[in-house]
Amino acid sequence: MSTASSPCSQLSAVDCHPIRDTYQALLHSPPDAVTLRRAEDFLETQLTHAERLDCDLPDEPYRLLEWMRAGAKRTTEAYAEYLRERKGGEPRRYFTGRAHSLYFVRAVAPTKLVDGAWLYGVLPHWHELHLKPLMQTYIEELGSGVAAQNHVVLYRRLLAEHGCDDLSGLSDAHYVQGTQQLALGYLAERYLPELIGYNLGYEQLPLHLLISTYELGELGIDPYYFQLHVTIDNAASGHAQRAVQALLDNLPVVGDRKQFMQRVGRGYRLNDLGLGSTAAIDEFDLQRELLSMFERKRQVAGRVHSDHCRIDGRTVNQWLGVPGRMLDFLSALQAKGWIRRNRDPRDSHFWQLIDGERAAMFGVFNPYERQLLHDWIAGEWLAEEGANIPPRTQPAVLQTAVGDFASETRALLAQLEDLPCDARTQRLIELMSPSLHHTPAGLLATRLFAASHR
Ligand SMILES: [Fe+2]
Ligand SMILES: [Fe+2]
């Protein structure tokens, strides 16, 4: 993992998140000059790191299509082999259970929540033909302004559905990709070849996407967001093909082609920095996650438990009153027989206190937190019995906004009516920024922009 130079040597590692801070600052719309300078410093550092990595891009641009198709073929063959293995009885390759898969969904969230952001800076150049493929990709990432197809809306829904939307505890490594995406999006004027290279790398179909889509579905977690990217990024006609086209369309005619391709290569390799999907899957440690979840909960629990029940000589409030005791507390619960590991969690009294609408602690733990506890208690039983998959919930039917719920729409339309043509486009572009495009106003702006700038 690479990090930008650390501005916070005075702070403890827990408090110091320079990359996450830059990420969040870039999500203020529009980011101020100080933030943009920070973003540029960060991007320069990342590009220096990227330059030291191997690059598998062909030197000759005319070989790019062939390179892309060969890559896609290798991926689909490896996936066919994976499917054969699974049909032959091999266990899942990525996820040990639902908690593991939700951990992954949460760990990659900082990247997915700014999906497409690296392309934002091409919007003001909508009239330039050679940038059209990139602009089209951006609009498609935004679902052309339709909430049900906006990639960021879809991911936010996925996180919310499983109680994964609180991202506290994620390290700076988790924010590297998302920050790079935002930085490229806001600094496109100075980093266009790098942006084109990054886009080329990001839109190629990776094997991990196919496998995680398959295994999420198997575990009863709606894989639609991931499935969508299997189809939309395809090599024949999707974003991958368009990424190659964008590079070819932007090759300098009079300028230095070699230097352009070198810069494309630097941007391409940015994809390999930070914590990638497979690394996020590999780093999962169920017990560590469970303990840090309990620590977070402990801090907000206060003295809400009654003191009449003692576990191994201590009241629950005493157990929760001090940091670092959670592992001993869980051991004490096991010794008391309240947690019985490696069997169906429903046999554990502690689980019964948490699960179900009539449970004494109903609502204390969100679905992700419950899943961590469930899978930790179930242990080996999980592997033997299958993953205890709940039925998939149907997506909510979207209502058309009326009354106060449509006030944003009315306000925006009124605002646009008063503006001259250029200023109107400018306003729409502001609302299509990475931090706003998924809001009702941003979605409407995207629909209006897409209708008039295709
Ligand atoms: Fe996307
Ligand atoms: Fe894409």
* Centroid of chain to Cα 48: 24
pLDDT band at 1 (very low <50, low <70, confident <90, very high): very low
Interval between CA 14 and ligand 2 midpoint (Å): 34
On whether residue 3 sits in a domain, the answer given is no
Ligand nearest to the CA of 234: 2
Ligand nearest to the CA of 241: 2
Report H helices in 61-97.
Answer: 64-87
What pLDDT score does 303 carry?
Answer: 67
| DSSP conformation class of 403 | G
d(CA 283, CA 268): 25
Strand partners for 310: 315
Domain final residue pick, 335, 352, 385? 385
First to last CA, the chain: 39
Domain that holds residue 337: 286-385
pLDDT band at 2 (very low <50, low <70, confident <90, very high): very low
Interval between CA 151 and ligand 1 midpoint (Å): 5
Average pLDDT over every residue of 198-208: 95
Domain final residue pick, 282, 305, 329? 282
Which residues, by Cβ under 5 Å, contact ligand 1, an ion? 115, 141, 151
Strand partners for 311: 314
What pLDDT score does 177 carry?
Answer: 98
Identify whether residues 121 and 264 lie together within a single domain.
yes
Share of the chain above pLDDT 70, in %: 92
What pLDDT score does 234 carry?
Answer: 73
Identify whether residues 57 and 188 lie together within a single domain.
yes
Interval between CA 229 and ligand 2 midpoint (Å): 6
On whether residue 58 sits in a domain, the answer given is yes
Ligand nearest to the CA of 240: 2
H helices, E strands: number in the chain: 23, 2
Interval between CA 409 and ligand 2 midpoint (Å): 28
What pLDDT score does 389 carry?
Answer: 57
Identify whether residues 89 and 228 lie together within a single domain.
yes
Interval between CA 446 and ligand 2 midpoint (Å): 17
Identify whether residues 138 and 262 lie together within a single domain.
yes
Residue for token digits 């980011």? 31
Identify whether residues 81 and 222 lie together within a single domain.
yes
On whether residue 9 sits in a domain, the answer given is no
On whether residue 446 sits in a domain, the answer given is yes
Interval between CA 232 and ligand 2 midpoint (Å): 6
Average pLDDT over every residue of 222-232: 91
Identify whether residues 276 and 292 lie together within a single domain.
no
On whether residue 2 sits in a domain, the answer given is no
Interval between CA 364 and ligand 1 midpoint (Å): 33
On whether residue 392 sits in a domain, the answer given is no
What pLDDT score does 129 carry?
Answer: 94
Do residues 99 and 162 touch, judged by C-beta distance below 8 A?
Answer: no
Considering only residues 266 and 29, tell me which one the structure prediction assigns the higher pLDDT.
266
Identify whether residues 133 and 248 lie together within a single domain.
yes
Interval between CA 279 and ligand 2 midpoint (Å): 21
d(CA 333, CA 352): 13
Assess whether pLDDT exceeds 60 at residue 391.
no
Identify whether residues 295 and 262 lie together within a single domain.
no
Q: How far is CA 398 from CA 165, 302, 394, 408, 411, in A?
A: 21, 38, 12, 17, 21
Assess whether pLDDT exceeds 80 at residue 250.
yes
pLDDT digits 0-9 by tens, 135-156: 999 999 999 999 999 999 999 9
Has this prediction a pTM greater than 0.85?
A: yes
On whether residue 251 sits in a domain, the answer given is yes
| DSSP conformation class of 315 | E
Ligand nearest to the CA of 199: 2
Interval between CA 143 and ligand 2 midpoint (Å): 11
Identify whether residues 195 and 338 lie together within a single domain.
no
Identify whether residues 234 and 326 lie together within a single domain.
no
On whether residue 398 sits in a domain, the answer given is no
How many separate domains does the chain show? 3
Interval between CA 272 and ligand 2 midpoint (Å): 17
Identify whether residues 215 and 358 lie together within a single domain.
no
Q: What is the residue-averaged pLDDT of the chain?
A: 90
pLDDT band at 397 (very low <50, low <70, confident <90, very high): very low
Assess whether pLDDT exceeds 50 at residue 264.
yes
Domain final residue pick, 351, 385, 419? 385
Identify whether residues 231 and 305 lie together within a single domain.
no
Do residues 137 and 243 touch, judged by C-beta distance below 8 A?
Answer: yes
Interval between CA 450 and ligand 2 midpoint (Å): 17
Considering only residues 281 and 6, tell me which one the structure prediction assigns the higher pLDDT.
281
